[in-house]
Each structure stands twice: as structure tokens, then as C-alpha cells.
Chain A
Amino acid sequence: MPLLEVSALSIHFGGVKAVQDVSFNIDAGVVYAVIGPNGAGKTTLFNLITGVYRPTHGDIRLDGETIAGRSPEALARRGVARTFQNLQVCMNMSALENVMVGAHLRLDRNLLKAALRFPALTRRDAELREEAAELMRFVGLIDYLSARADAMPYGALKRLEIARALAMRPRLLFLDEPAAGLNPSETLEVDALVRRIADSGVTVVLVEHDMKMVMNLSDRILVLDYGRKLAEGSAAEVRRNPDVIAAYLGAHA
């Protein structure tokens, strides 16, 4: 059974059909890419699967269980993590604290115990601090261990979001344009990072415009155009697909 099954998924915003009748499966352990021209519905698809939007039609199943229309917090409990194309970093906190928030569901969130500084809580927090620092090292943010989030450059914030998502210990990780706005050497680093994450056993779904990175990383690729599924297959298959070539080169032939 695939880890994620999406069937006949659609969402309409008024008259705009942002995603229409899209179906695909994602097997556990793969790197799966979603590509397509601007406005093709890639981020909308992510928002649907991660519970930010509620689908108009269709079904989403995680491990066979329907998750369509579930809230993001309910999906977090099921091991679904994501990053955002337009950064969603908590600028009122330190970098390390941003990563620690990712571990929210694994912690004792009791208000009273927190206010009275129960030793068990502070001990767990000290461990978490180490763990979060380790994650920052893993994504290449060792230089920012004691930085405030609002003092970090764009490229570092992109990776901070990945570290926060990893702190959830997810099964399924959605990365929305992890290399957007990065320079070529930073892109190579993110490329290697995604590879390391996939090797650690996390299923990665990625939206990305950098074709070299997509072709290099992905086990399977889904191509969207105007909210519809245009093609799906391995990198080699997608690259040869005439519809995909037409959509990307704008050929009307």
C-alpha cells in the first residue's frame, strides 16, 4: 500500500479551479517532486494535503486512512511535516527556539507544570536544546546556534524551516521550493541535504523550480499544468514527455 494516496482531488476558489481532478500515489521512502509552470497549483496541492485548505472534491489517504479536510495540527500528529515557499519563521524567537517548537507534540505542554518549573520539564528542555542544536548542525546552520531568527539571512531561514520540520520526526516531509532564491552553491547544499533526509528514511515530497535539482533527486515526478495532472513518472520519462516539453517551452505545436 502506498504511504499517500491522492484521488480525484479538486479545489475551487469561486470560479477558479486551482487544482482539478488530480490523482497520484507516493510510496514510502521515495523522493517525489511536483513541478509545473508558475500558477500550476503546486503550492495549492501542498496546502490541500497538509490541511491548510479543505478540498472541494476528492480524497487523500495516509496509510489508508482518509485525511482530507483534517486540520494541520491533526496531520502533524500523524507525522506530516512541511516547510513554506514564503517563509513562515517565528521572528519573535531565537533560531534554536524555532527548531524546538517543531518538537511540540513530543513534549509535556502542561501550563501549571511549566509555570512552577517542574524539574522533569526543565530536564527534557535541556535535552531538546541539544537535539535542536544537532538538527541545526545537520542542516548546516552551525553558525547560527545563538542567533535570533530575525537576524538571519534568507538562505539560512529556508534551512531553519527544514530543521523545525525535522524536529517533528516526520514520516512524510513536504518541502515547498527549498532552493528558491538561493545562489548556486547554496542550492547544491540543499540538494545534498534533501538527499541526506531521504536517506534517513523520511519520505520527501518537493515542489521545486530548479530542474537540475529535481531531475537529480527525484525518484518520481508529477507535472501539473493549470491545476491538472499533465504527466507522472521517473525523471527520464517526464523529460521525454511531449506534453511536458510543450508546457515548459510554451510551444503550441
Chain B
Amino acid sequence: MRTSPYIGLHIVIAILALLPFVLPNSFYLDLAIRMAINAVIVLGLNLLIGFAGQISLGHAGFLGIGAYASAVLPTHFNLHPLLAMGVGAALAGLLAALVARPIFRLKGNYLAMATLGLGIILNIALRNEAAWTGGPDGMPVPALGLAGFELSGDRQWYWVVAALLAVSVWASLNLIDSPFGRALRALHGSEVAARVVGVDVARYKLAIFVMSAVFASLMGSVTAHYIGFVTPGVADFFHSIELVTMVVIGGMASVYGSLIGAVLLTALPQALATFEGWETVVFGAILMLSMIFLPRGLVPTLAARFGRGA
């Protein structure tokens, strides 16, 4: 019968709880934090790409909206950082809805093209509006705090991000195995079959796209506060591609695949740093090989081999 997908959640929580005690130094703690942040973003993106079958090539644009909302609004308008985060998320959601609404009325997957354009526009806007954003040099981001307490130090950040990740995994698992999630997967499997049982296909695609954009924006804000500085690079096309690659390598429509993809591809550039100048080439080769030998992604391929559902 069904093996519960929640078993994996307990393992994830156990790893997250033990990790800071076994990591040798702050370099690794920093890496773990960035892995966890990417994992949350990739979870949201995988709901869109893997489960609903819609591709966004401009997701870094939404990250950029969140990151810059957290930088610009408190600096120039004296807004509380948490409020700024909320404004950024609302903005990202609104923009996603505006762009996607007309697209989802059409047949076929035009979302990839539209999001590609959107991401590029956002990136250019961030580079050019130097008076607000600091242009290509970027700008500092004020600390994140609430009622006199200020989030600082890698330890504190680690626990915040780890908690966010655990909740995201839990929520994603819940969503997939719900009426909403089944409708989402059904429209991916057969759009016409979903429609004849009453699924309002355009509305469901829109809902999941907006949700993943909001997720990305919130995590963009978190990243900005954690690093304390933003540059337009956060919103550029290559970052979008990197995020899609994490989804694909880990495994489409696999919650735990999202985590593995994020962890591996966040670590990979570090591991390749010794290749000095050639790391992009090695990165590309690894991606190509995994596409040839593991087209379904790591976790679904391994799960199939060992006869378990992912």
C-alpha cells in the first residue's frame, strides 16, 4: 500500500536540527543557509513546473522584486522591513497575475516566453534606476528585526531559514495530496480530462503561478536581509535558469527532489572553485550528463530503481 511521503519530512527535520552541531565552521553554516533558501524557492517553482506543468524562465525576477523591496522601501521610505517584505510579495503576486492572466486563456505553453521577457525587463529596470537601487553596484539592506530584537549572526539565521524550509516541505506535501493539488496534477496530465471533470484550468494555473511568485519574492527578501546587500544579479536570467535546473536535476514533481536539486547545485559552484575559470564549463557538462542519464531527475529515478514512490 501507500508509503507515507511524510516519513521524508521527519528525516529532513532531523537533518536540519543536527546540522549546525556537525558543521565544522561558519563557511559551511553559510552554505547550509543558502542551500535552505534555494530549497524553499525551488519547492515553490517545482509546484509550478513539475506538478502543474507550467514553465517560468523569469523566476529570478520575482526574487529581485522581494530583494529590492526589502532594500529600497526601508531605506528610502522608512518602511518597517517586515512590511516591506509584505509589499514586495504583494507586488510580485500582482505582477504575476497581470502577466499570466491573458496567457492562460491561450492554448499551449506561452508562459515560458512571457516570463523570460518579464525577468529581463525587471533586471534592466533594477540596473537603470540607479537613484533608487544603486544601479549595477547594488545597495545595502537594513537588518531584519521585530520589537527591538534584531536577527543577526549565522546561527540565528540558520534556525529561521531551517524552520521556513521545514514548514515549506510540510505545506508542499499537504498541497499535493489535496483536492487543489490533484486538480493541478490532473491538468498537467490531461488538460481536457481536467476540464470535463470541472477543473477551471486557467484559474488553477494562475493560482499556482501567483503562489510561486509570492514564494520567490518572500525568499528574495530573506536572502537580501541575510546577505545585507543586493545587486541586480539576484534577478538576472542566469539565476532563473539556475533555479529551473535545480528543479529538473532534483526531479520534476518531486518534493524531495527539489531539496536535493537545491542542495547539489548550491554546493556545486563551491566544489568546482578549484577549476578556476573552467567551473562554468564543468557545471554545464554535469548538467548535460545528468540530462542524458537521469532525464527524470535524481530523486524520481532513484525512487523508481528502489521501488518506492517519491
Contacts and interface: CB of A to CB of B under 8 A. Distances in A.
A118 B186 CA distance: 22
Interface in A146-179: 146, 164-165, 167-168
A142 interface: no
Interface stretch (B74-82, B126-134, B173-181, B271-279): B173-181
Contact of A73 (B2, B180, B195, B211): B195
B171 interface: yes
B73 interface: no
Interface in B194-224: 194-201, 207, 211
A143 to B, nearest CB: 14
A89 B178 contact: no
A102 interface: yes
Secondary structure call for the B interface: helix
Given A76-B198, A93-B186, A116 B174 contact: yes
Interface in A55-104: 71-73, 75-77, 81-82, 84, 88-93, 97-98, 100-102, 104
Contacts of A164: 193, 197
B174 A117 contact: yes
B8 interface: no
Range of interface residues on chain A? 35 or more
B198 A73 contact: yes
Contacts of B188: 90, 92
B34 interface: no
A72 B196 contact: yes
A71 B178 contact: no
A92 B194 CA distance: 13
Interface stretch (A105-113, A187-195, A217-225, A234-242): A105-113
Contacts, number: 107
A114 interface: yes
A223 to B, nearest CB: 26
Size bracket of the B interface: 20 to 34
A211 interface: no
Nearest to A71: B195
A121 B185 contact: no
Given A77-B198, A115-B171, A168-B198, A90 B193 contact: yes
B145 interface: no
B197 A101 contact: yes
B193 A84 contact: yes
Interface string B74-103: 000000000000000000000000000000
A209 to B, nearest CB: 22
Given A115-B174, A115-B175, A146-B2, A84 B192 contact: yes
A166 to B, nearest CB: 11
A130 interface: no
Interface of A: 50-52, 71-73, 75-77, 81-82, 84, 88-93, 97-98, 100-102, 104-105, 107-111, 114-117, 121, 125, 146, 164-165, 167-168
Given A71-B195, A111-B180, A121-B179, 15 more contacts: A76-B197, A84-B192, A88-B192, A90-B186, A97-B182, A97-B185, A101-B197, A102-B197, A107-B179, A110-B180, A111-B175, A111-B207, A114-B180, A115-B178, A168-B197
22 contacts: A52-B192, A71-B195, A76-B198, A84-B192, A84-B193, A88-B192, A89-B189, A90-B186, A90-B190, A91-B189, A93-B186, A98-B186, A100-B182, A101-B183, A101-B199, A104-B179, A104-B198, A105-B198, A111-B180, A111-B211, A115-B171, A125-B179
Interface of B: 1-2, 170-172, 174-175, 177-183, 185-186, 188-190, 192-201, 207, 211, 253
